[in-house]
Structure 1
Amino acid sequence: MSPIYLDHAATTPVRPEVLEAMLPYYKETFGNPSSLHSFGRESRIAISRSRDSIARQLVCSPAELLFTGGGTESDNTALFGAAEQYGTNRKHIITSQVEHQAVLHACEQLERKGYEVTYIPVDESGQIRLEELIAAIRPDTFLISIMYGNNEVGTLQPIREIGMTARERGIVFHVDAVQALGLMPLDLSDLPVDLMSFTAHKIYGPKGVGALYVSKRTTIAPLLVGGSQERKRRAGTENVAGIAGFAKAVEIAVREQESNFQHVSRLRAQMIEILRSELGNDGFIVNGHATERLPHILNVSFPGADTETMLMSLDLEGIAAASGSACTSGSLELSHVLRAMRLPEEVKRSAIRFSFGFSQNIEQIRAAAIKVATISRRIRNSL
């Protein structure tokens, strides 16, 4: 069996059209965008065109888009920038227990600086309860940061309702939309969001480039200083080729959003169907919300077959998948998302994340699912 890549939530291959859009800025148009000569002007024009293009797709002003080095920098810029700008007299932040580490670790660092953070719990599907978030709001709350869709289990959060609550109370609202871009409708002229993070490499663009939406009603302090780039909000010579590739990737992703949504939904459903026919309803457990979820992520537990053994066996068979775990100092750490969902121990310790992409077909997923079921049975029978 040819290798099958089922880890699109981690990163995606660069589309040929995206690479083609990038190549001129590695060769002919290589000037520094800050230079005043014609070489610099050409690069500067490329950045402006890319910003205009992405702004059209996201329905916002080009001036509201800040280019970054990726999703982590966008999240960090949002949290640290908002804290420095709005956290002088107000010191309280609200986030959830299932955020990406780029948000959680930033919050931990802000706590060390004297800020107070409330980590809202989630239910067993991974979704927060809006009433608990509202109850956590204090007079000194200046920032709420909640992700659009979870990168491990795919659960969507009630972003519009949270945004309306934040806006009514004059609280800055940040959303990590890294996994949502290209699959969920994002109209920034309509969503009550102040800050939103994106990255290119989740939508078949290059690694090392992302963006932060900063609404006109919001001001943030820069994370990086030392230059006047990005309206003095992010110092450093811009990644011109990466930005051009990002713009092309966003253009394609938004144009093909509906068809891609339907395609990866079919792939996900096919894998569940095969697993059910091979293992029965008791042989696996699907984690996350049943309906309010991203279409390309499937988190499955195989009780009796631990995650590490499953992943190693899948890799040997040419199937690339992931877990909700992170390797820290050589030890396998249990997913903070699954812990927050308070799932049974055997469910948490046997979870695998499969994530799908536009270039895959039903036959590949069927073959992969049969192999997954076979490996799961073999591991359980060996105990």
Structure 2
Amino acid sequence: MTVNRVYLDGNATTPLRPEAKAAMAAALDVVGNPSSVHAEGRAARGLLEQARTDVAAMVGAAPRDVVFTSGGTEANMLALMPELRTSAEPVERLLLSSIEHASVLSGGRFPPDRVGQIRVTTDGVLDLDHLRALLADGGPALVSVMLANNETGALQPIREVAEIVHQAGGVLHVDAIQALSKIQFGIKQLGADLVSLSAHKIGGPKGVGALVLSPKLAGLEPVLRGGGQELGRRGGTENLVGIAGFGAAAAAALPALADDMARIEGLRTRLEAGLRHISAGEGVIVCAGVPRLPNTTLFAVLGLRAETAVIGFDLAGIAVSSGSACSSGKVLPSHVLEAMGFGPELARSAIRISLGWWSSESDIDRCLEAWIKLTGNLAKRDRETVLERF
């Protein structure tokens, strides 16, 4: 990061952890291909399997059930396919929540006419009754629900979702990319059959991810076919340098997780108190009344254009986001807020501030100082009618 800048966009990506950087530098000197049987190949395989063990430990999985990919999007694509099964009957359709990441909303390898959306409440939480109704109306389904929303931070009731899905003979995929290293969870605890992860959300490098499988899952077919790498589940020579960084980031994040969660949540509480005070009742903190990630604040003020605020913060030396940062730099109305029932004007006004292990009290001070200056330049509008709903 540039000196004197404050990085508050951790849900978009995180700074590279020193441990990950060191592991990647060491991996650059490893000559062998992990699939080769000679000494150089075995050395490369050792790095690969150590990283697999470290990533598996973060989610309580067996190392052999971790499939490395080029990132979270590929992990989601690998997971979203017909014919998956945990029982005799394979899935025939895909049900996904209306607030999923774009890579899930695309439907993966399912035809569009076999994809349905599950509603969420105005609190950004999955409508379980709607899920039950959809599962009752058709054949076995693959259900995809994110553990934590990347914009609001809202946590979904995944354990309840898993029970409902499995009772209906379905399979559950959980995009846990945003939750990894921010809250404690395990694949067995969630009851999930597939879990997607990404390295750059936890202090690892960009361009590396993983799909974690339940031992009960069958029917997975690779997207990339080739030399049978990753136990035949993802062809192509593994990105050893990136994977080594992923493993090192996981190994560094896991023992510090509980302390990081408590400290970061304290910073967020201070931040949100300041935002409310400065905005004098004119703003809304989205999903403040439901369980959410300890690092995430989505703050909306009607009449404020998100792109204007993001530029204003940037000029003040602070990096924040207007929501998801996965749309090639586009600043668009939040589909998450629209799905929750927010009007388009408020959906275009949301600013996401997301903290991490690198965040400090001085970062919060800088952010609030910038917000004071920004709000002093905002045109005042009547916001009461819109905000009453929330």
TM-score range, shorter chain: over 0.9
Counterpart of 2:141 in 1: which secondary structure?
A: strand
Q: Deviations over 1:89-115 (max 9, x none)?
A: 7532211100000100135x6234xx5
1:207 to partner: Cα distance = 0.9
Q: Which amino acid aligns with 1:270?
A: R
- Judged with a 3 Å threshold, the aligned counterparts in structure 2 of structure 1 residues 195 and 4 are, in CA distance, closer, same or farther, namely same
Q: Which amino acid aligns with 2:33?
A: N
Counterpart of 1:221 in 2: which secondary structure?
A: coil
- Does the 8 Å contact 1:144/1:166 carry over to 2? yes
1:8 to partner: Cα distance = 0.3
Residues 334-349 of structure 1: matches in 2 within 5 Å?
334-349=333-348
Question: Take 2:103 and 2:41, find their aligned partners in 1: how far apart are those partners?
Answer: 33
1:84 to partner: Cα distance = 4.5
Residues 44-83 of structure 1: matches in 2 within 5 Å?
44-80=45-81, 83=82
Question: Take 1:99 and 1:305, find their aligned partners in 2: how far apart are those partners?
Answer: 25
- Judged with a 3 Å threshold, the aligned counterparts in structure 2 of structure 1 residues 16 and 325 are, in CA distance, closer, same or farther, namely closer
Counterpart of 2:189 in 1: which secondary structure?
A: coil
- Does the 8 Å contact 2:13/2:200 carry over to 1? yes
- Judged with a 3 Å threshold, the aligned counterparts in structure 2 of structure 1 residues 218 and 331 are, in CA distance, closer, same or farther, namely closer
Question: Paired residues, what number?
Answer: 376
- Does the 8 Å contact 1:55/1:65 carry over to 2? yes
Aligned: 1:206 with 2:205: yes
For 1:130, the equivalent position in structure 2 comes to 128
Q: Which amino acid aligns with 1:374?
A: K
For 1:23, the equivalent position in structure 2 comes to 25
Q: Deviations over 1:299-350 (max 9, x none)?
A: 0012222111111111111111111367979974311111101113432121
For 1:304, the equivalent position in structure 2 comes to 303
- Does the 8 Å contact 1:327/1:333 carry over to 2? no
Q: Deviations over 1:24-59 (max 9, x none)?
A: 1102x1211112221111101111122123223322
- Is the deviation greater in 94-103 or in 125-134? 125-134
Question: Take 1:162 and 1:77, find their aligned partners in 2: how far apart are those partners?
Answer: 21
Counterpart of 1:35 in 2: which secondary structure?
A: coil
Q: Deviations over 1:202-244 (max 9, x none)?
A: 0011111111111111021111101110000000101112112
- Judged with a 3 Å threshold, the aligned counterparts in structure 2 of structure 1 residues 341 and 375 are, in CA distance, closer, same or farther, namely same
- Judged with a 3 Å threshold, the aligned counterparts in structure 2 of structure 1 residues 337 and 92 are, in CA distance, closer, same or farther, namely same
For 1:269, the equivalent position in structure 2 comes to 269
11, 14, 29: which one pairs with 1:12? Answer: 14
Counterpart of 2:4 in 1: which secondary structure?
A: coil
For 1:215, the equivalent position in structure 2 comes to 214
Counterpart of 1:315 in 2: which secondary structure?
A: helix
- Judged with a 3 Å threshold, the aligned counterparts in structure 2 of structure 1 residues 330 and 184 are, in CA distance, closer, same or farther, namely closer
1:191 to partner: Cα distance = 2.6
Q: Percent identity?
A: 37
For 2:278, the equivalent position in structure 1 comes to 278
Aligned: 1:369 with 2:368: yes
Question: Take 1:50 and 1:332, find their aligned partners in 2: how far apart are those partners?
Answer: 35
Q: Which amino acid aligns with 1:264?
A: I
- Judged with a 3 Å threshold, the aligned counterparts in structure 2 of structure 1 residues 327 and 360 are, in CA distance, closer, same or farther, namely closer
Name segments (4+ residues, structure 1) moved above 3 Å.
84-90, 325-332
Question: Take 1:57 and 1:364, find their aligned partners in 2: how far apart are those partners?
Answer: 28
For 1:103, the equivalent position in structure 2 comes to 104
Question: Take 1:94 and 1:106, find their aligned partners in 2: how far apart are those partners?
Answer: 9
For 1:234, the equivalent position in structure 2 comes to 234
Residues 30-41 of structure 1: matches in 2 within 5 Å?
30-41=31-42
Unaligned regions of 5+ residues in structure 1, if any? none
- Does the 8 Å contact 2:123/2:290 carry over to 1? no
Aligned: 1:360 with 2:359: yes
- Judged with a 3 Å threshold, the aligned counterparts in structure 2 of structure 1 residues 347 and 377 are, in CA distance, closer, same or farther, namely farther
Q: Deviations over 1:88-147 (max 9, x none)?
A: 97532211100000100135x6234xx522201111121112111111103413200000
Q: Which amino acid aligns with 2:192?
A: V
